[in-house]
Structure 1
Amino acid sequence: MIILLDTSTATCFLTVVDDETRQDFEWQAGRTLARGLLKFLEEKTGDLHDISGIGVMRGPGSFTGLRIGLTVANTLADSLNIPIVGAMGEDWRETALGKLRVGENEKIVMPEYGAAAHITAPRK
């Protein structure tokens, strides 16, 4: 099974592609993304060990959402020794799926925030 994950907004989107079937899920993660993402993935996939590839939305989007989502996806891909690819744009799912089907593996996907992160200077 291949999973396609988008954590660029407060709503987390997951597409599970198994053979020719495709299921779409969404979860209003809000501020619980870090705490609940793995549980959400386990509930929707059944067994994380059945995942054979991961496609992720690289951005642009929420700094924290992308950071958390891509960290989880990169870690899963590494620990399960499966390919991971990233894509952007409205057709990111089809692009990622195409990359995975031809055997691409980016090993680590970095986020694209769309702008520089707004980081405040320390007060001291």
Structure 2
Amino acid sequence: MILLLDTSTPECKLTLVDGEARYEYAWQADRELARGLLEFLVAKLAEHEQTLAGLDGIGVLCGPGSFTGLRIGITTLNTVADSEHIPIVGTLGEQWRDDALARLAAGENDQIVLPEYGREARITAPRK
């Protein structure tokens, strides 16, 4: 099974690909992405009797999008890919899912995906 994830907006979008079958899920994560992302992924994989360790590949939308959303999603998947020795690829654009699947099928592995924000990150000063 291949996991595809988009955390570029407040709505987290997950696609699980098992052969020709695609399963689409969405979660309105808003400000709970960091707290709930792993739980969301594990729960959806469990619905298909699958675990993170059993994944064949990971694809992630690397941008453009929300600075925090991309950072959390990509960091989480980079960590899973590294710890479980799973190939990971990052892609851009409207056809990112198909591009990620093609890259994984070709045996590609970015090892570490970096976010593409589409502009310079706008980081505000701490309030305190």
TM-score category of the 2 structures, normalised to the smaller one: over 0.9
Partner of 2:90: 86
Distance in 2 (CA, whole Å) between partners of 1:87 and 1:32 is: 24
Distance in 2 (CA, whole Å) between partners of 1:6 and 1:60 is: 10
Partner of 1:34: 34
The alpha-carbon deviation at position 119 of structure 1 amounts to: 2.2
Normalization by structure 1: what TM-score? Answer: 0.95
- The structure-2 alpha-carbon separation of the partners of 1:123 and 1:21, relative to structure 1 and needing over 3 Å to count, comes to closer
Partner of 2:45: 45
Structure 2 matches for 1:52-91, cutoff 5 A?
A: 52-91=56-95
Moved more, 104-113 or 16-25: 16-25
Partner of 1:112: 116
- Structure 1 letter corresponding to 2:108: E
The alpha-carbon deviation at position 120 of structure 1 amounts to: 3.5
- The structure-2 alpha-carbon separation of the partners of 1:119 and 1:21, relative to structure 1 and needing over 3 Å to count, comes to same
The alpha-carbon deviation at position 123 of structure 1 amounts to: 8.4
Deviations 1:12-70 (A, max 9, x none): 00000012211000000000000000000001112212211000000000000000000
Percentage identity across paired residues of the two chains: 63
Give the number of equivalent residue pairs: 124
After TM superposition, the runs of 4+ consecutive aligned structure 1 residues lying more than 3 A away are 120-124
- Structure 1 letter corresponding to 2:18: D
1:96 to 93, 96, 100: 100
Structure 2 matches for 1:1-16, cutoff 5 A?
A: 1-16=1-16
The alpha-carbon deviation at position 109 of structure 1 amounts to: 0.3
Q: CA RMSD in A?
A: 1.4
Normalization by structure 2: what TM-score? Answer: 0.92
